[in-house]
Amino acid sequence: MNIDPVKALDGKVERLKKELKSLETRIDHAQTDAAHDQLSQANQLKDTTRKLTRTNDRVTELAESVHRLERLLVALNRKVRAGETRKANFDDWPEIDEAQLAKILKGQEAYARRAFTPQEAKDTRKAIAEYDRRALEAIDAAEALTHLPPTAEALWRKNYKQWRSISDQKRPEAPDDDTHAKDTVAKSAGNEAIAHTRQLIRARIEDAVARDLLFPAWFENMLGPAAPPGKADDWLYTATDVVLYRLLHDVTSPADALGPAPLEEGHRKTLHDRLTGECADHRKP
């Protein structure tokens, strides 16, 4: 042991330097090994991802193949059944005349019209009276414009402004008690007509199911070849409304049950969207 404190300290420093150097070497080795491990794991992850992608693509291809096969089986089944089974007729309805359909459409239009409440009717009539009062004043002001001297610029501007203030506005629509009464009658008649019509349609569909008749192509395309298990009543309800929609809106396509989607908002578009969604659910496996 060196008894010289300075030399002893220098010796410790040297030893610490050697230990630090050794530690740095070990850290470098550890970092190198970690980098190799990380690279290896990254490569494994890439390989796994590629395998999963290939598997997903294969599953998609198989699903499409199964879907095509199902459609071919359906088409083949239709051809086989067409030669052996009577066809259901959901396009010709002599027992449902134009008058019945007209009642249903008028009832739907009546429901679509907004009815005034008693308070709204009172407020609207008050607004109409105020509009008429201001309109008369504006007309007087406009007539006065033709008699004003050229120097009465301020008065001319005042009268012209008064006329413009009413000419740019629209007179409120008056609540029509007669229309309200007619709508009430139309709603009642429409409800009776649609109940009777739906009963006729549903009875024919149930008969076709009971006799295992071949459904029209547009019917099967929309609702599938049969009712889903456990949902026969829901399926029949939707099927009845699909046939009724075709009758009400004169849809005759042999393949498309509902025809193009309506562009304008209203009862028809709402019903089209509802039936499209319900039928999609019924077609699910």
pLDDT digits (tens, 9 = 90+) for 114-146: 665 667 667 767 777 777 777 777 666 666 666
CA nearest neighbour of 257 among 269, 243, 267: 243
CA nearest neighbour of 88 among 203, 216, 235, 232: 216
Query: d(Cα 257, Cα 240) in Å, to the nearest integer?
Result: 12
Contact by Cβ (8 Å): 259, 249:
yes
Of 15-24, 91-100, 191-200, the least confident: 15-24
Please tell me whether the overall predicted TM-score, pTM, comes out greater than 0.75 for this model: no
Domain map of the chain by residue range?
10-84, 91-116+180-285, 117-174
Tell how far CA 46 is from the center of its chain: 40
- Assigned token pair, 21: 């150097």
Max avg pLDDT among 4-18, 148-162, 216-230 = 216-230
Q: For 241, how many CA atoms within 13 A lie in the half-sphere containing its CB?
A: 16
Contact by Cβ (8 Å): 221, 255:
yes
Beta-carbon contacts of 215 under 8 Å, excluding residues fewer than 6 positions away, are: 88, 90, 208, 223, 225
Convert the pLDDT of each residue in 193-234 to its tens digit.
999 999 999 999 999 999 888 899 999 999 988 888 889 999
